[in-house]
Amino acid sequence: MKKILCVLFATSSLFCAEDAQLLSEALGHVIGQNIKALEFSIDSAALAKGLMDEAEGKPSPLSLEECMRRLALLEEALEEKCKEKNLQEAEAFLARNQEKEKMHILCEGKVQWEELRAGEGDELSSHNHPLVRCKGTFLDGTVCTSSEEEIIALEEALPGLKEGMAHMREGEIRRIYIHPEFAYGESDPVQPGSLVIFEVELLELEGHLTPSALLSDWDDEKS
C-alpha cells in the first residue's frame, strides 16, 4: 500500500498532468477492486481520508496489527457465509436434479449420475487404475479440474467420484453430480462447500498414457 501511495503522489513529477491523473484514477480502481473482493461496505470518504493522511504522515486510527486482526475476522465471517450459501445451493440443486428421468441416485441423493454415452467395453472394478478424460466444474461453470488423459487410482479418488464411476464400461461417458460432503468439502480455497459436477469418459480400465501425455506430465513436473 505504501508503494501505491508513493506512486499516487509522485506521478506529477514523472508524467504530464493528464497522464498523472489517468494513472491515479486507474490505481484507485485497482484499490477499489481489491476492496470490493472483501464484500463489505466501504466508506469511500473515510478511505480517501486515510490515503491523504498516510501521504501526509498522519497516524492511522488503528495499528497495523489491529487492522490485520479485524480483516482476518472479517475474512473468516465471509468464508463461513460463502460455505453456507454454497451448501444451500448444492442441496437445492440435488433435490431438483434427482427428479430428472434416468438419473441414478446414490448415497441418499448426495451422489447422482446420468449416462451421456453408453460403453461397450469391460466393466470397471474398484481395483482398476483407469485412464479417463475428465472435467470438473462448480455450479457456476467455473472449472476446478480438467484432463484430456489421466490415470486415477479409484481407492484414492474423491468418494463421490468413486461411487459415481462404479461399474462404468470402457467407452462410457457419465456426468456425475457430487455433494460437497463427498467432494472437496470445505477445503476448496475458491468455492468452499460447493457441489462439483464431473464429466468422465472411461478410456481404458487399466490406463497407459500416450507418449504425448507423458511428455506433458514431464514438462509440468519441470515447471
Please check whether residues 112 and 206 belong to one and the same domain: yes
pLDDT of residue 117: 96
Please check whether residues 12 and 107 belong to one and the same domain: no
* Position 73 in a domain: no
pLDDT of residue 200: 96
pLDDT of residue 3: 52
Please check whether residues 108 and 193 belong to one and the same domain: yes
* Position 68 in a domain: no
Please check whether residues 128 and 21 belong to one and the same domain: no
Global pTM reads 0.70
pLDDT of residue 42: 75
Cα separation of 149 and 212, whole Å? 10
* Position 47 in a domain: yes
* Position 93 in a domain: no
Cα separation of 133 and 150, whole Å? 6
Please check whether residues 114 and 213 belong to one and the same domain: yes
- Per-residue pLDDT of the chain (223 residues), as tens digits, is 555 555 545 544 555 666 667 877 787 777 777 777 666 677 778 878 887 888 888 899 988 899 889 888 888 888 888 889 999 999 999 999 999 999 999 999 999 999 999 999 999 988 889 999 999 999 999 998 999 999 998 888 999 999 999 999 999 999 999 999 999 987 776 788 899 999 999 999 987 655 444 444 434 544 4
How many domains, in total, are found in the chain?
2
pLDDT of residue 217: 47
Please check whether residues 54 and 110 belong to one and the same domain: no
pLDDT of residue 218: 39
Q: Which domain holds residue 22?
A: 2-61
The CATH number given to whatever domain includes residue 189 is 3.10.50.40
Please check whether residues 110 and 206 belong to one and the same domain: yes
The strand pairing partners of 173, in sequence order, are: 117, 201
